[in-house]
Amino acid sequence: MTDEPRRQVPAADGAIALSRLPEALRKVTYSGARHPGAGTPECPSHTPEGTAGAAGPPAPGAFADLAGGANCQRYAYAVLGHFGLPVPPFRSAELWADDRATRRADRPRPLDLVLFDGGPVAGRPPGYGAHVGVLWGPDQVLHLCREVGRPAVWRFADFAARPRYRRFLGAKRVLRTTGR
């Protein structure tokens, strides 16, 4: 954990206090039309001006782009940006295929991206249309979905109980640098 409560980062087996997120990340509403690549500015977590990194508070207006709502990916990327982990504006299949900015995490830990789907679909790449959340702690996933409409923390069993999220596709860890 850091000593700065605003950027409380969990230990490998710890949890993050949802109440310590900036209000803009706690109050964002779901909008399926607000996905990475939809309109400008692009996903705010990928622009250095949009986040200040782990050493300081978010830049003024860092989450202004979330005022119009977000889908699951845009929301997850903004959360990670708050913790100094910028993610390129990938759609879910691009995220799953990526090996430059992220890597697959066999043993997910807090602040890893987690992907859920309903299972493989013929003619679509792995990860296409997958739901993206942020591992928040042991058996806790922070995410934004249409069903709830606001950020929520669910257990893995909560996802498994819904056909569209029944399969845990896997986890991706954001690399500190996006190039190799």
Domains located in the chain, CATH noted: 11-174 (3.90.1720)
Q: Does residue 8 have a pLDDT over 90?
A: no
Closest-CA residue to 72 (of 11, 114, 21): 114
Q: Does residue 68 have a pLDDT over 50?
A: yes
The alpha carbon of 30 is separated from its chain's Cα centroid by a whole number of angstroms, namely 13
Neighbours of 147 (CB within 10 A): 10
Amino acid 64: pLDDT: 56
Q: Does residue 60 have a pLDDT over 60?
A: no
Q: What percent of the chain has pLDDT over 90?
A: 56
Tell me the average pLDDT of the chain. Answer: 79
Please indicate, yes or no, whether the overall pTM of this predicted structure exceeds 0.75.
yes
**Arithmetic mean of pLDDT, 59-66:** 59
Which has the minimum average pLDDT: 4-18, 37-51, 120-134, 161-175?
Answer: 37-51
Q: Decide which of 60 and 31 is more confident.
A: 31
Which amino acid appears at position 32 of this protein? G
What are the E-state strand segments in 26-75?
none
**Arithmetic mean of pLDDT, 83-104:** 94
Cα–Cα distance for residue pair 150/159, rounded to 1 Å:
16
CB 98 within 8 A of CB 171: no
